[in-house]
Structure 1
Amino acid sequence: MTNPNHHPSPKPSQVVAGPPTKHQLALMIWLAVFPTLTILNLTLADWLSTLTPVLRTFVLATIAVPIVIYGLMPQLHRLRTRILARSAGR
């Protein structure tokens, strides 16, 4: 009978990366947010200029947050895992 709570050990070539440190997460968020907001500001500049600062911020956040959370952060987490695996293999 197999134990349902048993998880196979990672292979030696597999590195299990724990959660990022606060500093790593801060860098990852910055790397995702800054370019996203820059591109959105440049792309929507004419339309955004007609809005009040609060409404402009609301529109930017409404567009940027899903891009960052669902699009960019998963890629940055995978990149971090690959970097950690590469440095662990040295």
Structure 2
Amino acid sequence: MIWIAVLPTLVLLQLLLGAAISGLAPVLRMVVMVTIAVPIVVYGFMPVLHRLRVALLARIGGQAR
């Protein structure tokens, strides 16, 4: 479930910031990307995905009865 949020976030950040941080060392590029991506995923996408998952499981569970 987490990769549904992580992969698109990293791709988008790479497209937006790739040229700006291309001069940094690879480790520093990763630090910048992770520092931006983690809060976006944890506070932005995961609550929404969790609510969708709960609704889906409730719908599936309700039909099984």
TM-score tier after normalising by the smaller chain length: over 0.9
Q: Which residue of 1 aligns with 2:32?
A: 59
- 1:22-37 to structure 2, matched below 5 A, reads 28-37=1-10
Return 5+ residue gaps in structure 2 as ranges.
Answer: none
Separation in 2, partners of 1:32, 1:86:
22
Q: Secondary structure at the match of 1:64?
A: helix
| Paired residue total | 63
Q: Which residue of 1 aligns with 2:50?
A: 77
TM-superposed CA distance for 1:61, in Å, is: 0.3
Return 5+ residue gaps in structure 1 as ranges.
Answer: 1-27
TM-score under structure 1 length normalisation: 0.68
Separation in 1, partners of 2:4, 2:24:
26
TM-score under structure 2 length normalisation: 0.92
Please give the per-residue CA displacement for 1:33-71, whole angstroms capped at 9, x wherever unaligned: 100000000011111211110000000000000001100
* Superposition CA RMSD, Å: 0.7
Indicate the structure with greater helix content. 2
**Percent identity of paired positions between Structure 1 and Structure 2:** 60
Please give the per-residue CA displacement for 1:17-38, whole angstroms capped at 9, x wherever unaligned: xxxxxxxxxxx11111100000
Q: Between Structure 1 and Structure 2, whose CA radius of gyration is higher?
A: 1
